[in-house]
Amino acid sequence: MFKKILIANRGEIACRVIKTAKKMGIATVAVYSEADRDARHVEIADESVFLGPAPSRESYLVADKIIAAAKQTGAQAIHPGYGFLSENEDFARRVEEEGLVFIGPKHYSIAAMGDKIASKKLATEAKVNTIPGYNDVIESPEQAVTIARDIGYPVMIKASAGGGGKGLRVAFNDKDAAEGFASCRNEARNSFGDDRVFIEKFVEQPRHIEIQVLGDAHGNCVYLHERECSIQRRHQKVIEEAPSPFISDETRKAMGEQAVALARAVKYQSAGTVEFVVGRDQSFYFLEMNTRLQVEHPVTECITGLDLVEQMIRVAAGEKLGFTQEQIPRRGWAIECRINAEDPFRNFLPSTGRLVRYQPPAQTMESAQPVPEGGGVRVDTGVYEGGEIPMYYDSMIAKLIVHGLDRDDAIRRVREALNAFVIRGISSNIPFQAALLAHSKFVAGDFNTGFIAEQYPKGFSADAVPHDSPGFLLALAAAVKRLALHRAAGLTGQLRGHEMKTRDDFVVVLLAEDGSRQSTPVRLRVENGRYAVEVGGRTHVIALHGSLRDIAMHGECDGEPFCAQVERVGLDYRLTHNGRSVRARVLTPRAAELYALMPFKAPPDLSKFLLSPMPGLLVDVAVQPGQKVLAGEKLAVIEAMKMENILVAMQDGVVSKVAASKGESLAVDQVILEFE
């Protein structure tokens, strides 16, 4: 067994590998860029080596620096994590040639299966059903359009070295194909150093289901059941679960055996994932193979009880698998939510900056540790309160993983955990995750990869989040206000005759972004430390635990435990529960009468400006002063978190001024263009 390994990655996955290495008694070496100097993975590793500037192409993608760091520190092996160099055949070969061990598959397996074009050809030769497409390298946008027409729209344009939704576009017409080809090549070049692109038919209403495989150097290969990954937004996975609520035992067995056969064909040694697209009739087609550890590997660990990182390390050290196919269990149900630094209410644009508050839910499971019999909650992360979310890398803040007795139990647990997950300073997709988990079709298991686009065609808004009991939030606002008044009334030194008095009748005013207000009278009485709040003819009995300074407030409502986020915002309270967020002002009846007379101050008209919707790098300005533009025309391109974001004109107009320069780092709402 190795005595020391280097983790050629950052963030959550670097921390995850370090935990398993420490459990196995293996010393760890972290590498870091300028942006990650104070990162968590650097802190928890035994030692660390500085790689270079923040951009990944100057740090985490430089193989020479990583290999030199391993030699400098005496590391015997390198774990690549996922992303960066994890599926780079040349890097894996270099590691082996330098006398080190690559904790992953052999370079020839990566060459055969990690390259999407080569893997499809190999699958075809092995008589595995593949999706119709053009698997040779495409040289120009014009050629891409011709090929797309021959296959028939819609088509998927995909980077050969892609992954994680990077370098991927769906085209429904010639314009989409030409623009998508150019964007895919740019993203692939920047993220993977490989700009090859291929095109295949886009199967509409598909399921995305993947099989986890594990092989060793002694000819053993098994599959560790499947993961359901159909809940995706723009081809980026949002929620993953294991097992799938869709496929039958017969399909599961057939997919698993086919995945193993494919892995055996390339003498696969390590953990890998064979991805399939599955039709309504449970027919399945090979999509691609990821020759690395997957982001969603924890759900497989939960249902099998196996530590996949440990298995990768043991296989790389030459050990045999310690179990057969028949000995792999499938216990309970696991769900993973990716908590990303993005604003769901602004079309999921990246949100970077400082984590002013970071308070994950209570954890009863831990990565690299045995899975509890009754299930639990686990959070894998590489961040900490007060740390920075940089603009140079992936947007993931954390992964929330729950394990339940069955699917309903897992959904209930993950909803509770999301309620308790506090993130402030940057925006996160937690409200969106909560809405998905409450959606009737998700709960019923009735979805495909187009689910999010179909259910939220106009994007995501606060109104898209239903709530089981809207009166609960009003009652909670009144109870919190009453508690605050009671505390204020107990302060010493108050002027005699003018002491703070508590009262039992309020008006809760809900404030909307457009200035509209909804007023609801409530009556409240205190009984044995509990608040009986009458709202709309119904009485909610609320008990509050903890302190008013706690954002995540725990308690019981009508005998049922709850966790809701409550925080003071000026004169108002912002309350969040089950993804629903409201801004409430709790007033006396007279104050509510006067407040209703106050005019609403409308926000300024910004239609004459193009504002940066996110922090990022301005890589292109496509217009000049005096130029006429039409609605839908490209204006600028911003790069953030390895993704290119094209900004287009919302209406016809004339550019009067270009206020930002190409290559400039932009802040949120910074002016890029002005219009006449």
Average confidence score pLDDT of the chain: 92
Q: Is the pLDDT of residue 648 over 80?
A: yes
Domains and CATH numbers, the chain: 4-103 (3.40.50.20), 108-131+204-331 (3.30.470.20), 132-201 (3.30.1490.20), 338-373+383-464 (3.30.470.20), 470-595 (3.30.700.30), 609-675 (2.40.50.100)
Longest dimension (CA), the chain: 91
For the chain, the distance separating the N- and C-terminal CA atoms, rounded to the nearest angstrom, is 69
Q: Is the pLDDT of residue 15 over 90?
A: yes
Q: Is the pLDDT of residue 301 over 80?
A: yes
Nearest to 638 by CA among 606, 608, 607, 672: 672
Nearest to 133 by CA among 159, 164, 156, 163: 156
Per-residue pLDDT, 164: 64
Q: For 135, phi and psi rounded to 5 degrees?
A: -100, 5
pLDDT tens-place string over residues 208-241? 999 999 999 999 999 999 999 999 998 889 999 9
Active site amino acids? 288
Bridging pattern class, strands 628-629 and 609-611: unpaired
Per-residue pLDDT, 642: 67
pLDDT tens-place string over residues 228-277? 999 999 888 999 999 999 999 999 999 999 999 999 999 999 999 999 99
User: How far, in Å, are 544, 549, 565 from residue 484 at the CA level?
Assistant: 12, 11, 16
Cβ distance 82 to 295 under 8 Å?
yes
Tokens of 501: 């008095």
**Cβ count within 10 A of residue 246:** 18
CA distance 149 to 38: 50
Per-residue pLDDT, 523: 94
> In sequence order, what are the beta bridge partners of 519?
509
Confidence of residue 628 (pLDDT cuts 50, 70, 90): very high
Average of per-residue pLDDT across 598-620: 85
Cβ distance 307 to 326 under 8 Å?
no
Q: For 375, phi and psi rounded to 5 degrees?
A: 85, -175
Burial, 443: exposed, middle or buried (Cβ in 10 Å; 0-12, 13-18, 19+)?
middle
Q: Is the pLDDT of residue 466 over 70?
A: no
Average of per-residue pLDDT across 413-434: 95
Tokens of 449: 């990869």
CA distance 618 to 612: 9
